[in-house]
A and B are shown apart, each in its own frame.
Chain A
Amino acid sequence: MKQANTPIAICAGLACLFAATTASADAVTPDKVMFDDLEVKTSLTGAPGDAKAGKKWFANRKLGNCLACHVNKDLANQPFHGEVGPPMDGAGDRYTQEQLRGILVDSKAVFGPDTIMPGFYRVDPGARTAKKFKGKTILSGEQIEDIIAYVMTLKE
């Protein structure tokens, strides 16, 4: 994981000024993600994610908002689970981290061009992206790694 060095090191030294705001703080920037047979092998941050934080990003309406489309028993305390995608229960049994990373980074690369699921690590995928979101990914690499760690805990 040699790419991980620079941003992470700066982050540790300078109280992490930029890490949360731009994807470029991540070791693997969106344009550098490598797909390998529908999987993305290497962590976007060069480090494993934090499942506890991932659970928060998963539910948060402004971030993953995964509950918009996926029922998830583990978050039964949260209201309004959508049903546009398959339930997340047991997703940790069905997928490997590498597969989940592929799905999260660019769902269309995995499910095909017609899927409604957004790619969470893509820059300006659709036309007319609102100014506020231009040039930005929906989630940072770190948040994606956290969500992957969380989804891996969803065992049947």
Chain B
Amino acid sequence: MKVSIKAGLVAAIAFAGFAVTGSTLADEGLPEGVTAVKATPPSKDHPLDEILSGWTFRTPETQALQQDDFENPGYLWVERGEALWSEVDGSAGKACASCHNDAADSMKGVGAEMPKWDAKLNRPLTMEQRINNCRTENMGAKEWKWESTQMLSMTSYVRNQSRGMPVNVQADGPMASWVAKGKEVYYTRVGQLDMSCANCHEANYGKYIRADFLSQGHSNGFPTYRLKWQKIGSLHRRFKGCMKNIRATPYKVGGDEFVALEVYLAQRGKGLQVEAPAVRN
């Protein structure tokens, strides 16, 4: 039977019945604070020939919103985070600034290395977990909920201090087993539609799936302002959305599977520059 039509052919077929808008994969212009939206894979056995930021796949209109911090709606959360940075909270009477002083110095580079190994807890912590750890242990304050305005503001603010720096997560040593676990999650087919992350973001990036133009699904832009959400959102929220779309029960936000997936994804996109807060549709 004749079932051997190659996928490569498909992309070449422009169909005149409807307008194909969207990215041209051109890289004129860059997001504010960033000098490149591409990276070379760190190793030969990397699944991608070229690592491309999600920015590359967005329309010029969406890109324009990230080319200027005054236009970028995600910047509101950065500013809220900046205010929270020196706000005293909790029984110890401390603010983040009490221990970390000026975030522009103390937090520079931190966001590029998340999730980071915590020797005391013997596990990696995401930015959210690290922040809550400081709140409960050092401030005597209550944890912030993962997707709360405060948490999103603080993660946006702290990640923003590493903007333009290449993602550089630790992947060896004690992190290796987390990378492996995340890789397993990435390639496992789930849900009624029986798909893995790789089906969309590795095998089909640069193509339309209905109205959506598929990117490589990297994490360098997070927290990301999504036009669809009308607000900024965490990486785990994005994971949840992708899993729901394939009719799977998502893993728990902040749970070990998603943390491992975050570690793996950072490792997969190593070298891409941090764009937080990115703007996506």
Contacts and interface: CB of A to CB of B under 8 A. Distances in A.
Interface in B159-197: 188-195
Nearest to A122: B194
B195 to A, nearest CB: 6
Interface stretch (B12-20, B31-39, B65-73, B219-227): B12-20
Interface string A57-79: 00001000101110101001011
Contacts of A76: 15, 17-18
A65 B192 contact: no
Given A76-B18, A128-B249, A67 B210 contact: yes
Given A99-B1, A116-B203, A83 B188 contact: no
B18 A125 contact: no
Contacts of B23: none
Contacts of A85: 7, 10
Please tell me the size bucket of the interface on B: 35 or more
B200 interface: yes
A65 B1 contact: no
Contacts of B188: 127
Contact of A86 (B5, B15, B193): B5
A23 B97 CA distance: 60
Contact of B192 (A86, A110, A124): A124
A87 to B, nearest CB: 6
Classify the interface of chain A: helix, strand, loop or mixed.
loop
Interface stretch (A4-12, A41-49, A131-139): A131-139
B247 A129 contact: yes
A69 B209 contact: yes
Interface string A88-107: 00000011000100010000
Nearest to B200: A116
A84 B208 contact: yes
Classify the interface of chain B: helix, strand, loop or mixed.
loop
B24 interface: no
Contact of B204 (A65, A116, A138): A116
A125 B200 CA distance: 18
A83 B194 contact: no
B249 A138 contact: no
A42 B243 CA distance: 34
Interface-central residue, B1, B192, B200, B249, by most chain A CB under 10 Å:
B192
A78 to B, nearest CB: 8
A84 B207 contact: yes
B115 to A, nearest CB: 23
Interface of A: 38-39, 61, 65, 67-69, 71, 73, 76, 78-87, 94-95, 99, 103, 110-111, 114, 116, 118-119, 122, 124-133, 136, 138
Given A81-B15, A110-B3, A128-B249, 14 more contacts: A38-B1, A68-B210, A76-B15, A83-B208, A87-B10, A87-B15, A94-B2, A99-B1, A116-B200, A116-B203, A118-B193, A126-B192, A129-B249, A138-B192
15 contacts: A71-B10, A71-B15, A73-B17, A76-B18, A79-B18, A79-B211, A80-B211, A83-B10, A84-B207, A85-B7, A85-B10, A86-B5, A95-B1, A127-B188, A129-B192
